[in-house]
Amino acid sequence: MAKEHTLLSTEIVNRGVESSGPDAGSPTFSVRVRRRLPDFLQSVNLKYVKLGYHYMISHGIYLMTLPVLIVIFGAEIGSLSKEQLLQKVWEEASYDLATVLAFFAVLVFTISLYITSRPRPVYLIDFACYLPPEENKVSKEEFITLARKSGKFDEASLAFQSRILKSSGVGNETYMPPSVFAPGVNCATMKEGRAETSAAMFAALDELFEKCRVRPKDVSVLVVNCSLFNPTPSLSAMIVNHYKMRGNILSYNLGGMGCSAGIIAIDLARDMLQANPGGYAVVVSTEAVSFTWYTGKRRSMLIPNCFFRSGCSAVLLSNRRTDFRRAKYSLEHIVRTHKGADERSFRSVYQEEDEERIKGLSISRDLLEVGGHALKANITTLGPLVLPFSEQILFFAALLYRHLFPTKQSAATPSASTNAPYIPDYKRAFEHFCMHAASREVLDHLQQNLDLTDANLEASHAVLHRFGNISSSSIWYELAYLESKGKVRAGDRVWQLAFGSGFKCNSAVWRAVRRVRKPTRSPWLGSIDRYPVGN
């Protein structure tokens, strides 16, 4: 019971002055109880720590053997003077030249074999983000006005959406397709879906190909992700047809994977490039807002209306070594966590029909708690791969002490555990954070539990305010924000973190290979100087 109590938060809500009844004329209040994000300081699942170290050792075994070889070789060489070393080399070479040549041949062969057998680095050449037309811009006030004029909502549903918008963190310059507000028309049609997605995808791809000076026929791998709209032929086939791409292109279309599908698509593209080296891969991430639009009365299904907005991103990847000079970033790690085995996690974001058979996306009240557990598993796995050695030592020592000397928690003060594990400082592992801009409440909980500063989440809050929740493409709009601010320098590490239905939490880590100059084409041109909002 005490553990359950720590996952709840209370909020006193002023309901205004009572207009009728025995309490007419007096102010009324209500207490709202909701679940909050789990406190990471109270529990760390040891199996995810083991998984992270397993990844680190599997991919870095040479880091353990190389120092030993260097110490042995150094001790041998260090015992000789410079003259003795040269004399010894000359004597050995003159004594048996064939042995020396054979040794160097084996050494060259071994080094060549190692270089050719190791996975090629994956570079991010550039990316583009779609900026919808000005006529699609909708303020919060216009949102309610247009929704009322459409005749699809009753006053109670409009009032609920208005309250959600006020505390959502979404600003007054987000974009929505006009079809969702068309009176008496079902906006979720195949025609409207194709029109919405093709406008976004083709605009982003046109900009990407122009910026990178790459022809569509040069692309060997194409991965498209869109969660709710999955027509036949697929969205990836629409792109192949529009740009007349090559006939042997490896084309993939990911559906139903939520807002974290962008990182899954990057992971798939990376694997395809490793299996087919020397090519280009394009990843397109988008969402059809008209297919997330809900016109019923169930409140859990009205929430997505208030957050989801139009957006699309297109990313060009390459594993050609010659592309290092013009690439912006190199991909270092991808860590994926899936909590679908748990029933509450599986149903936390669920597409279904309501009592009136109106289709929509239902958001569970357990979403924050479910997302918190997925996040905890993901960052615990990611930690050993990215954290500096000093942080790992502190974390491991605290974790070991906690298991060797457990102490009982008090029922009265369950959060005052003296043996809570040390949570590493992820600010020492990354210079930039691109957290999925789902809602202001989610970002606030992330900041609190990861001990991040306002500056760390500046890009996420800016994207939420300027563009809303643009699903899987939001992490690219956030990276575009950082570039437009001129904050990305050579060697900087960028952490992209996204959540998705299922329930999934995925991380991608990039390292800037050079200083990234302010882009001349960006969705932030004309508005970047207004952010952060506090300014």
Beta-carbon contacts of 124 under 8 Å, excluding residues fewer than 6 positions away, are 315, 316, 317, 327, 328, 329, 330, 331, 510
DSSP annotation of 308: B
Of residues 225, 319, 469, 506, which has the active-site annotation? 469
**Measured distance CA(511)–CA(235) in Å, rounded:** 30
Active site residue 373: no
Active site residue 333: no
Residue type, 509: V
Of residues 187, 305, 338, 506, which has the active-site annotation? 338
Active site residue 338: yes
Of residues 333, 432, 445, 461, which has the active-site annotation? 432
> By the 8 A CB rule, do 227 and 256 touch?
yes
Give 3-state DSSP helix, strand, coil % of the chain, rounded to 5.
Answer: 45, 20, 35
DSSP annotation of 170: -
Checking phi first, is residue 244 left (phi over 0); if not, alpha (psi -120 to 50) or beta?
Answer: left
Active site residue 403: no
Q: How many CB atoms lie within 10 A of CB 285?
A: 34
Return the structure tokens found at 302.
Answer: 């009205």
Residue with tokens 């994956």: 122
Active site residue 59: no
Going by DSSP bridges, is the β-strand pair 250-254/219-225 parallel, antiparallel, or unpaired?
parallel
Which residues pair with residue 28 across a beta bridge?
Answer: 16
Of residues 225, 461, 465, 505, which has the active-site annotation? 465
**Measured distance CA(458)–CA(471) in Å, rounded:** 18
Of residues 187, 212, 259, 312, which has the active-site annotation? 259
Active site residue 242: no
> By the 8 A CB rule, do 415 and 86 touch?
no
Residues identified as active-site: 259, 338, 432, 436, 465, 469
